[in-house]
Structure 1
């Protein structure tokens, strides 16, 4: 399978009023990005730890109405924060509101402050990954019996890099895998993912899109990442200003690929 190069932007929902977030989404769609992400946390991850912040899935419902072309999703939903069946129904609803443009980004969770302040059990990395493995089949079963059904098979993007457990879950369930780290880490873990794919009977090399966050201009990093198999590049932007100048450079690079 030959995949098109895609550009995403993560509108980080921190340190801004909602009007500024709404405007950033509008500008991102106008700039030509393929997908607009937020994230699933309850407090800022940088800057003032008690600064302004907004909730993920409420926002995605608003984005579904606001936008008309881009895909939308969380990079990534924390599996711990919602019952899997509830999350499936939320995803199906946003899928319908958006006319079939939702990507279900999901991961095991890691930000302990969210858990402590909102009353979730933090557990261990192992228990959270096990919960994610349990949740994905439940999400799929709920989507399969929903009325009305989703408008499409909602793509599942899994974020994480644990080589023994998380990448096995990716191999079993994901349509896209979001990697963290440099290109050498990506190459090594991508090969491990394909080994898991062989073990579970999926051709992950062709079926699982490789995604990565980028913070440098395309002329500095794009070529080696493309050679490593990446086709989805996402730039994170922070409030309150949401500077999209780097995003625009990546969009121009994508368009120049022909």
Structure 2
């Protein structure tokens, strides 16, 4: 049985901010003791001014790889539809080397229709996008096995989403980390579904690290129930332009009491 340490992540949402503010926020997160810094993979803000400032995900991760020395980095999550799987595998391998083995490949099927329309991708259906994700994951793994130089380590794959018939089956087969966007009760139920898929594949579900977004409230009050359910990676979402670390600092301090 695998036991994961409690970790704290931050999602520095790359919207409504000048890049120097984002660069400074990554530095502050590493200095604070945060374990993982995520951005997200969109082309327009998800809330606030819809045409506000926004930056691209993977070029930013390359900059973070050079800027930081300890913290893991990744997208929460990459949209599978926006890049050929072989290209994405190569990009991830490159950032893995740039960061000396600190990249997490976060990936999901995609959902933000404006991104698709504005950038010329076919939006299709939710089911179709999930099917494409299922086809992409083994192609990414296959490409990693062919690249020269190879990745510095087995790049951890984080899959985000909670679909019980497809997404959680992909998690059982391919993921090192599952990120749930669910509330506590839903998380517990979906973990049961995930365990069932793992059983079908002969995989121990304890091998998969459970990742959640932090709920509102004091970490000492809301964190223990998530811990008991199985969560180990807790990520605080922060929006630009100022990236207020007040809540993030509380979660780091809570981690350090465990």
Common fold, TM-score beyond 0.5? Answer: yes
Shift of 1:215: 3.8
Deviations 1:165-196 (A, max 9, x none): 11001100000000012110000001100100
Q: Output the CA distance in 1 between the equivalents of 2:49 and 2:96.
A: 33
Counterpart of 1:94 in structure 2 is 95
Counterpart of 1:113 in structure 2 is 114
Q: Output the CA distance in 2 between the equivalents of 1:132 and 1:86.
A: 14
Gaps of 5+ in 2: none
Deviations 1:109-160 (A, max 9, x none): 0000000000000010000000000000000000001000000000000000
Aligned residues: 256
Cα root mean square deviation, aligned: 0.6
Given that residues 161 and 180 in structure 1 are in contact (C-alpha distance below 8 angstroms), is that contact kept between their aligned partners in structure 2? yes
Counterpart of 1:236 in structure 2 is 237
Deviations 1:185-227 (A, max 9, x none): 00000110010001112112x1111000014230231010000
Gaps of 5+ in 1: none
Question: Which secondary structure state, in structure 1, belongs to the residue aligned with residue 256 of structure 2?
Answer: helix
| Superposition pairs of residues 121-160 of structure 1, within 5 angstroms | 121-160=122-161
Question: Which secondary structure state, in structure 2, belongs to the residue aligned with residue 103 of structure 1?
Answer: strand
Counterpart of 1:161 in structure 2 is 162
Question: Do residues 248 (structure 1) and 249 (structure 2) align?
Answer: yes
TM-score by length of 1: 0.98
TM-score by length of 2: 0.98
Given that residues 37 and 73 in structure 1 are in contact (C-alpha distance below 8 angstroms), is that contact kept between their aligned partners in structure 2? yes
| Superposition pairs of residues 20-39 of structure 1, within 5 angstroms | 20-39=21-40
